[in-house]
Amino acid sequence: MEKQEIKLPADFASYGDARRAGFLKMKELKENGARVVGMFCSFVPTELVYAAGALPVGLCAFTDEPIPAAEAHLPRNLCPLIKASYGFALTDTCPYFYFSDLVVGETTCDGKKKMFELLDEIKETYVMQLPHSRDERSLAFWRGEIVAFKEKLEDFFGIQITEEAIRQAIRRKNRERQVMRRYLELGKLDPAPMSGYEMGTRVDAGSFSFDLDQRCDEVESRTAEVLARWEAELKGTSTDRPRLLVTGCPNAGVREKIIRAVEELGADVVAFDTCNGIREKVELVDESESDVYMALARKYLNINCSVMSPNESRRNYVAKMIDEYAVDGVIEIVLQSCHTYDVEAHFIHRVVTEEKGIPYLNIETDYSQADKGQIGTRLAAFLETIDK
Ligand code: BJ8
């Protein structure tokens, strides 16, 4: 395997560029009276936010700058995503938090749900109570939480949310899921048609482009462009670059030191079982269901996050992805102190190595650069174990 520079499209906007451009756009939208709802998790049904005529914006933070400030209130030994997100709010340095009229949290992991209590002292934070299993009782409870969230949005903004508005939002979000899925499933092509670095960055950057339909159009056009280039230049050729699947915690904060690094070492990241990958896009909301709240409840409760217990569906989905993307090795990324992913890693390791017979690497890390060299060494050693 030869070291390679990752080729990115000429108009490629880095995650930082997209985030900065989004600030200006959001300022303009706010000046024109936009309603903004900040959120932290794939479990929050954005359809209801759109149905309220509001814009959803992701508040998960991916840099370590605000972490020292956050550690004045939070334990050091806590997930960097939680500390950084809280740190931005505490230091009033995230324009998206600043512009949010309401913040929505959820009871996913312990660290996040307790952090939301502190966040509520800075800005009103409404917390959805997410059950952690998928039986009928949990489903009924979660449907109730979805109705309660709709009522909260109605009270907060002084509006009525109609069922038709929810149905329309479901159709728009389903289109987005299908568009993103077609883009991410380009990774099934062999040789890989683009870098995993581009794929992940484009998905994350998309959350700072607030026109949902325009975002879909842009991704569709990029999908067509990548496919055309693959057909013309790569189809029928072969490569010795190993094909990797990345699974685990959200990886935007460690993308440079893991995804970019492993691709520069000569591998292709072709698939992501993550929240900035295909995880939330696998299942659509059932548009034919007569009860819209039940349709939303079913879809969202099935997200394969490790906070669910048991969570066999994630193991099954990882196994399926390994086959469908013809994967040669799996890297699991666990953010420091993320207990649910860390424990579930045992099962994922078993599926990857025993059921599928391919190498697995687990990297526990945070947002600092302190372990960059060590991770680079481990990635290089991991690639040596792949038989390709
Ligand atoms: S649906 S992955 S976005 S909870 S914050 S659980 S890394 S210790 S982010 Fe997540 Fe929703 Fe699940 Fe997706 Fe671990 Fe950190 Fe908790 Fe985290």
pLDDT at position 388 is 73
Per residue in 40-74, pLDDT (tens digit) is 999 999 999 999 999 999 999 999 999 999 999 99
Give per-residue pLDDT as tens, 261-299.
Answer: 999 999 999 999 999 899 999 999 999 999 999 999 999
d(CA 21, CA 282): 29
- b/e per residue, 346-379, with b = 16+ CB within 10 A? ebbeebbeeebebbbbbbbbbbeeebeeebbebb
User: Residue 161: which residues within 8 A CB-CB, separation 6 or more?
Assistant: 48, 51, 52, 150, 153, 154
Residue 84 CA to residue 82 CA, distance in Å, equals 6
With a cut of 60, say whether residue 352 has pLDDT above it.
yes
Least confident of 92-96, 148-152, 181-185: 92-96
- For the ranges 10-19, 40-49, 370-379, which has the lowest average pLDDT? 10-19
Amino acid identity, position 171:
R
Residue 3: is its pLDDT beyond 70? no
Residue 372: band (very low, low, confident or very high) from pLDDT cuts 50, 70, 90: very high
Q: Which residue's CA is the closest to the ligand 1 atom numbered 7?
A: 249
Residue 321 C-alpha to ligand 1 middle, in angstroms?
A: 21
Pocket of ligand 1 (CB under 6 A): 41-43, 79, 81-82, 108-109, 111-112, 249-250, 275, 303, 305, 307, 335, 338, 340-341
| Residue 15 banded pLDDT, cuts 50, 70, 90 | confident
Q: Are 91 and 63 in contact (CB under 8 A)?
A: no
Which residues are 330's β-sheet partners? Answer: 245, 360
Q: Which residue has the tokens 């954005």?
A: 46
pLDDT in tens, 241-252: 999 999 999 999
- Contact in structure between 272 and 281 (CB atoms under 8 Å): no
Does 10 score more than 80 pLDDT? no
Q: Which of 128, 334, 335 to mutate to test the pocket of ligand 1 (most atoms within 8 A of CB)?
A: 335
Nearest to 45 by CA among 37, 132, 141, 84: 37
Which of 1-10, 146-155, 170-179, 350-359 is least confident?
A: 1-10
Residue 203 or 153, more confident: 153
DSSP state of 139: H
| 8 Å CB contact between 153 and 49 | yes
CA of 224 to the centre of ligand 1 (A): 32
Calculate how far, in angstroms, residue 196's C-alpha sits from the geometric centre of ligand 1.
21
Instruction: List 128's β-bridge partners, or say none.
Output: 106
Q: In the predicted model, is pLDDT for residue 2 greater than 60?
A: no
H helices present in 158-239, as ranges: 163-184, 196-206, 212-229
CB 57 within 8 A of CB 96: yes
**HEC string for 79-135:** CHHHHHHHHHHHCCCCHHHHHCCEEEEECCCHHHHHHHHHHCCCCCEEEECCCCCCC
